[in-house]
Amino acid sequence: MRGAHYISKTLITGLVIGSALSLSFNRDHPHPYKLVYPTYFGDRYSIPKDNPETIEGVALGRMLFYEKALSAGNKISCATCHQQQHAFSDGKRFSRGADGVRQSRNTMALVNVLWTRNFFWDGRTPGLENQADTPLTNIHEMGQSLEISVKKLGARKRYARMFAAAFGEARITPERIEKALAQFERTLISCNSRYDQYLRGTYKPTASEENGIRLFYGSPNPARAVRGASCSHCHGGPKTYEELFMNNGLDSIYRDPGRAAVTGRGYDSGRFRVVTLRNIALTAPYMHDGRFKKLEDVVDHYSDHVVKNRYLSPFLQNNSNSLHGSELDLTAKEKKDLIAFLNMLTDSSFITDKRFSDPFVHS
């Protein structure tokens, strides 16, 4: 008994000295984490002044991203629905939460979220730090209050050290959990697809890919026999992302009101985020409700089946490759070429990057 007491006392003293040492070592020196991306992505993003990217913060965020203790019953982590091999989505139409209940919308991929300002399909939440609140605490997602998460992390000894390294002191708080997660998510940058290699001049696209690129960026002008698909109008330039919300003609009766539920504006009905197309081949199924299983279905939709509705995006109207046509009217070959381009956006190094993988597998 006395022996056991001695051992635990020594252990505790050792731990205290250890954490004091790591504290004094790290307190003033969380090391800046350099975000690396191509210049053609641009730097129109902002990182909160009170949450700079640090090596220690990112390491903690990665651990928390894969930490099941952050969910009710330790059943799931962020990575359960945001799996690296699916570009941080999960291949399901609707993911299930810790309570087994399905989500009402498709899980979004996490790719280049550094450039996203307002989160979710309806853009209701500004900033990654705030975004984390919902999946962590929603009863049909991870389903656990942040107060309980703080307690559970406190009982795991690695975290005092990691929070100290990231934030200068070992105290675990809800705010720090969200800050660390946000720091990790900002590092999820995908910029080594074949399309990037093409932009860097190290990959020569096939004829089909080249035509896909042309169609993606081009607008139709049937009077001049110019073919186009006008994709870049909303999906933007090389990032294939701009923060836009569009009614893309899925329905005329809006079962999910989309952004209108946030703004209260009729014209926002059926309006959802325009997603990045980076790694799009890995993130099926598609749309806010995962209604399309394959990229072929998506391209067919935009080419032939856009539903005319009251608030349909003006960019999907009067946009035909046929004279006086009402649909985009791509040929079967053009659809294949567009998909060839979309496949160029798959970045195999992003989904195998060890910096983003499950740290518990190796620990």
Applying CB under 8 A, the residues found at the interface with another protein are 118, 123, 242-247, 263, 265-268, 271, 310-314, 317-318
The smaller minimum CB distance to another protein, of residues 235 and 335, is found at 235
CB proximity list for 264: less than 8 A, separation 6 or greater: none
In angstroms, the CA 61 to CA 53 distance is 10
Q: Write down the least CB distance from residue 326 to another protein, Å.
A: 14
Q: Write down the least CB distance from residue 269 to another protein, Å.
A: 10
Q: Write down the least CB distance from residue 133 to another protein, Å.
A: 22
Query: How many C-beta atoms lie closer than 10 Å to residue 363's C-beta?
Result: 8
**Strand 245-246 and strand 125-126: pairing?**
unpaired
Q: Could you check whether the bond before residue 285 is cis, i.e. omega within 30 degrees of 0?
A: yes
The smaller minimum CB distance to another protein, of residues 5 and 49, is found at 49
DSSP-assigned letter for residue 15: H
* Burial class of 39 by CB neighbour count within 10 A (0 to 12, 13 to 18, 19+): exposed
The smaller minimum CB distance to another protein, of residues 100 and 264, is found at 264
Q: Which two tokens stand for residue 221?
A: 């002008």
The smaller minimum CB distance to another protein, of residues 43 and 296, is found at 43
Longest dimension (CA), the chain: 94
In angstroms, the CA 302 to CA 313 distance is 12
Strands (E), the chain: 118-119, 125-126, 245-246, 272-273
In angstroms, the CA 78 to CA 238 distance is 28
The smaller minimum CB distance to another protein, of residues 112 and 211, is found at 112
The smaller minimum CB distance to another protein, of residues 170 and 307, is found at 307
The smaller minimum CB distance to another protein, of residues 65 and 311, is found at 311
The smaller minimum CB distance to another protein, of residues 94 and 217, is found at 217
In angstroms, the CA 269 to CA 258 distance is 6
Per-residue 3-state assignment (H helix, E strand, C coil) for 164-203 = HHHHCCCCCCHHHHHHHHHHHHHCCCCCCCHHHHHHCCCC
